[in-house]
Amino acid sequence: NAGVTQTPKFQVLKTGQSMTLQCAQDMNHEYMSWYRQDPGMGLRLIHYSVGAGITDQGEVPNGYNVSRSTTEDFPLRLLSAAPSQTSVYFCASSSVGMGEQFFGPGTRLTVL
């Protein structure tokens, strides 16, 4: 049982490049979400999904796209990376109504 997995662990991009951060969970959780963590600001919600085919915006969605074609996967896309997107990104999942969210190990992204 791998829990929540994220790839890659580290990534360096140049301004304007695009990339996809991968997230997968094997716990059959309905809810999945993406957060970014910046120094002194805690974790902020980017996008979330309550099931396959359903996504919605969180607190800081600009510059990011998501889709949820399967229960297991919830990729986060950066279409045109900007230095302001330098951050640590966490994916999380939970079974709706059960309270606890399980987090992946995070991806450290640097945009030059």
Partner 1 sequence: AQTVTQSQPEMSVQEAETVTLSCTYDTSESDYYLFWYKQPPSRQMILVIRQEAYKQQNATENRFSVNFQKAAKSFSLKISDSQLGDAAMYFCAYRDFGNEKLTFGTGTRLTIIP
Interacting residues toward partner 1 by CB under 8 A: 31, 33, 35, 40-45, 48, 50, 58, 88, 90, 92, 94, 96, 99-101, 103, 105-106, 108
Looking at the Cβ atoms of 48 and 64, the one nearer to partner 1 is 48
The closest of 33, 31, 23, 29 to 58, measured between CA atoms, is 33
Nearer to partner 1, 3 or 16 (CB): 3
Minimum CB–partner distance for residue 104 and partner 1 (Å): 9
Which residues are within 8 A (CB) of 92 and not within 5 positions of it... i.e. 6 or more apart? 4, 32, 33, 34, 35, 101, 102, 103, 104
In the bound state with partner 1, the residue whose beta carbon lies nearer, of 17 and 106, is 106
